């Protein structure tokens, strides 16, 4: 079955963004994925190809709302600071920067992570 147009357009936008940004050991990439039921985040070192930290709404014990995305951002910020990561590159993965994605990024900034 063919993929829907909305998701295909998002993947094209994500590809254009990913062509310009990469994560390093000193400044890893934070990749956001939204589905209808969940929001998940990975902190990735693209040079080594490893995931340094990850989390989802289930890990943060939050609901799939804007407030829940904020809790997830705080949860990821705590994980990053525990691993001495202070600066990251934010990869919104083709999603618009509003709502849950914006709440997640703002909560990470409030947690001491420089985006």
Residues linked to residue 32 through DSSP beta bridges, in sequence order: 41
How high does pLDDT run on average in the chain?
A: 93
Domain that residue 66 falls in: 5-110
Element (H, E) at 74: helix 66-82
The label of the residue with tokens 């083709």 reads: 94
* Domain CATH for 13: 3.30.420.100
- At 35-62, the pLDDT tens digits run 999 999 999 999 999 999 999 999 999 9
CA distances (Å), origin 86, targets 11, 30, 50, 101 = 28, 12, 17, 19
- At 9-22, the pLDDT tens digits run 999 999 988 888 88
Which residues are within 8 A (CB) of 94 and not within 5 positions of it... i.e. 6 or more apart?
9, 10, 11, 12, 13, 14, 15, 17
What's the Rg (C-alpha) of the chain?
Answer: 14
pLDDT band at 2 (very low <50, low <70, confident <90, very high): low
Cβ(72)–Cβ(79) under 8 Å? no
* Beta strand pairing call for 39-45 and 50-56: antiparallel
- At 65-80, the pLDDT tens digits run 999 999 999 999 999 9
Within-domain flag for 22: yes
Within-domain flag for 115: no
Rounded Cα distance between 48 and 68, Å, is: 31
Our count of domains for the chain comes to 1
């Amino acid at each position: 079955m063919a993929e829907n147009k909305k998701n295909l357009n998002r993947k094209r936008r994500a590809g254009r963004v990913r062509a310009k940004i990469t994560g390093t050991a000193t400044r890893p990439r934070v990749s956001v994925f939204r589905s209808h039921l969940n929001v998940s985040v990975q902190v990735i070192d693209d040079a080594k190809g490893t995931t340094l930290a990850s989390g989802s709404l289930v890990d943060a014990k939050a609901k799939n709302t804007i407030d829940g995305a904020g809790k997830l951002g705080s949860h990821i910020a705590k994980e990053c600071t525990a691993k001495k990561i202070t600066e990251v590159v934010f990869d919104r993965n083709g999603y618009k920067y509003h709502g849950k994605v914006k709440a997640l990024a703002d909560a990470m900034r409030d947690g001491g992570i420089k985006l």
